[in-house]
Structure 1
Amino acid sequence: MNKKLAGYLGASLILLVLTLLICVGTGSVSLPMGDIARILLHRVPALGEWITPDWTTASEQIVLNVRLPRVLLGLIVGSSLALAGAAFQGVLRNPLADPFTLGVSSGSSVGAAVLIFFGWQFSLVGIFTLPMVAFVTGFTTLLIVLALAKEGGRIPTESLILSGVVMQTFLGAVVAFLTAMSKKTVNEILYWTMGSLSLRGWSYTAILLPYLVIGLVIIWSGARRLNLFALGERQAAHSGLDVERTKLVMLVVATLLTAAAVSVAGVIGFAGLVVPHMIRLITGPDYRLIVPLSAICGGIFLMWSDLIARTILGQVEIPLGIVTAFVGAPFFAYLLYRNKKQRESRQERGMM
Structure 2
Amino acid sequence: MLNKLNIYIAISFLLLILLSIGALYIGVYNFEDKSPLTVLSNVIFNPAEVSLSEKYVIWDIRLARIVMAILIGSILAVSGTVMQGMFKNPLATPDLIGISAGATLMAAITIVLGAHFKHFLPDFLQFSLLSIAAFIGALGTMLLVYKMSTSNNKTNVVIMLLSGVAISALGFAVVGLLIYLSSEEQLRDLTFWNLGSLGGATWTKNAVLFTVLVFSYVILLPKGKALNAMMLGEKDAEHIGIPVERIKKQIIVLTALMVGTCVAFSGTIGFVGLIVPYILRLLFKSNYQLILPLAAVMGSILLLIADTISRSIVAPSEVPIGVLTAFMGAPVFIAILIRFKNSM
Common fold: TM-score over 0.5: yes
1:67 aligned partner, one-letter code = R
Q: Which moved more, 1:225-234 or 1:155-164?
A: 155-164
The equivalences for 1:272-291 within 5 A come to: 272-291=273-292
Aligned to 1:297: 298
Q: Could you tell me whether the CA contact under 8 Å between 2:43 and 2:55 is conserved in 1?
A: no
Structure 2 residue 329 is matched with structure 1 residue 320: no
Aligned to 1:79: 74
RMSD: 2.3
Gaps of 5+ in 2: none
Structure 2 residue 206 is matched with structure 1 residue 211: no
Aligned to 1:168: 168
Give a deviation string over 1:271-297, Cα, whole Å, max 9, x none.
111112212222332222211211111
Report the CA distance shift for 1:30/1:6 in structure 2 as closer, same or farther (over 3 A): farther
Q: Could you tell me whether the CA contact under 8 Å between 2:89 and 2:157 is conserved in 1?
A: yes
1:72 aligned partner, one-letter code = V
TM superposition shift of 1:177: 1.0
Structure 2 residue 106 is matched with structure 1 residue 111: yes
Cα distance in 2 for residues equivalent to 1:41 and 1:4: 34
Give a deviation string over 1:154-204, Cα, whole Å, max 9, x none.
212222112211111111111111111111411111211111111322222
Cα distance in 1 for residues equivalent to 2:285 and 2:40: 36
Report the CA distance shift for 1:30/1:5 in structure 2 as closer, same or farther (over 3 A): farther
Structure 2 residue 266 is matched with structure 1 residue 271: no
Percent identity reads: 32
Name the SS for the 1:97 alignment partner.
coil
1:165 aligned partner, one-letter code = V
Structure 2 residue 133 is matched with structure 1 residue 138: no
Name the SS for the 2:318 alignment partner.
coil
Give a deviation string over 1:98-141, Cα, whole Å, max 9, x none.
11001000000111111111235794524332222211111111
Q: Could you tell me whether the CA contact under 8 Å between 1:87 and 1:251 is conserved in 2?
A: no
Q: Which moved more, 1:302-311 or 1:3-12?
A: 302-311
Cα distance in 1 for residues equivalent to 2:129 and 2:51: 40
Q: Which moved more, 1:298-307 or 1:182-191?
A: 182-191
Cα distance in 1 for residues equivalent to 2:223 and 2:162: 29
TM superposition shift of 1:39: 4.1
Cα distance in 2 for residues equivalent to 1:11 and 1:134: 34
The equivalences for 1:1-352 within 5 A come to: 1-29=1-29, 35-42=35-42, 48=45, 58-120=53-115, 123=121, 125-150=125-150, 153-184=153-184, 185-342=186-343, 344=344
Give a deviation string over 1:9-55, Cα, whole Å, max 9, x none.
110000100111111111213679x94444445566xxx48xx9988
Q: Could you tell me whether the CA contact under 8 Å between 1:131 and 1:259 is conserved in 2?
A: yes
Gaps of 5+ in 1: 345-352
Cα distance in 1 for residues equivalent to 2:208 and 2:247: 27
TM superposition shift of 1:247: 0.6
Q: Could you tell me whether the CA contact under 8 Å between 2:76 and 2:299 is conserved in 1?
A: yes
Cα distance in 2 for residues equivalent to 1:197 and 1:305: 11
- How many residues are paired up? 337
Cα distance in 2 for residues equivalent to 1:199 and 1:241: 41
Aligned to 1:350: none
